[in-house]
Amino acid sequence: MRYSAQMLQNMASRLLALHGWTLSEPPDRPARAVLIAYPHTSNWDALYALLGKLGLGLDAHWVAKESLFRWPFAGLLIRMGGIPVNRRTRNGLVAEMTALFAAQPRLLLVLAPEGTRRLTEGWKSGFYRIALAANVPLALGFVDYARREAGILAYLTLTGDPAVDIAAIARHYVDRPGRHPALASPIRWLD
């Protein structure tokens, strides 16, 4: 049986509602954006994010470590929008993703600014550099376990001033805990 996008959207929304979760998104979704997923503190984040993606009807591609893309799941993950990345070396990801935006009239690219589920000293700046280079807004994705809510907090137009932009991002994530709040990395630049 082949499921339509609307059927998947309805099923995901109902499944979340059945578990007491709600979805939220501001109006006026842009055709192209970089979406950050924060905080990323648990493997459960992926399930709720996937259900949120389906429930909101987001046609999103997402970047993840290449070790996840192994047989027998590699083909499925790529069909679900996954883009494998070697995190051990600098390999031109910003240029590659900027070119992808230039080639696509509609693209939502999801990245975790922490780069891991573990506590880090701050955020990697790749998502920021991609959004600026591609001249697309930044979507602030979240999974809030305390409120049992997931979705997108805001769409921000970046100024190009890293200090101003990180402060604006941080204001939106105040009081939005992950599954393990102690593992949420502080919202500040790491690199």
Q: Given this model, what pLDDT does residue 191 score? A: 65
Cα torsion 13, 65, 83, 152: sign:
positive
- Look at residues 139, 188, 127, 132 and name the one whose alpha carbon lies nearest to residue 158: 132
Tokens for 127? Answer: 């998502």
Q: Quick one: pLDDT at residue 137?
A: 98
Query: Mean pLDDT of successive 10-residue segments in the chain (191 residues)?
Result: 79 92 95 92 84 90 83 85 75 89 94 79 91 98 93 97 96 90 87 65
Q: Please give the pLDDT value at position 88.
A: 65
The pTM (predicted TM-score) of the whole model is: 0.89
The DSSP annotation for the chain comes to: -PPPHHHHHHHHHHHHHHTT-EEE--SS--SEEEEEE----STHHHHHHHHHHHHHT--EEEEEEGGGS-TTTHHHHHHTTEEEE-TTS---HHHHHHHHHHH-SSEEEEE-TTSSSS--SSB-SHHHHHHHHHT--EEEEEEETTTTEEEEEEEE---S-HHHHHHHHHHHHTT---SSGGGPPPSSB--
Pairing, β 60-65 against β 22-24:
unpaired
Strands 149-156 and 138-144: antiparallel
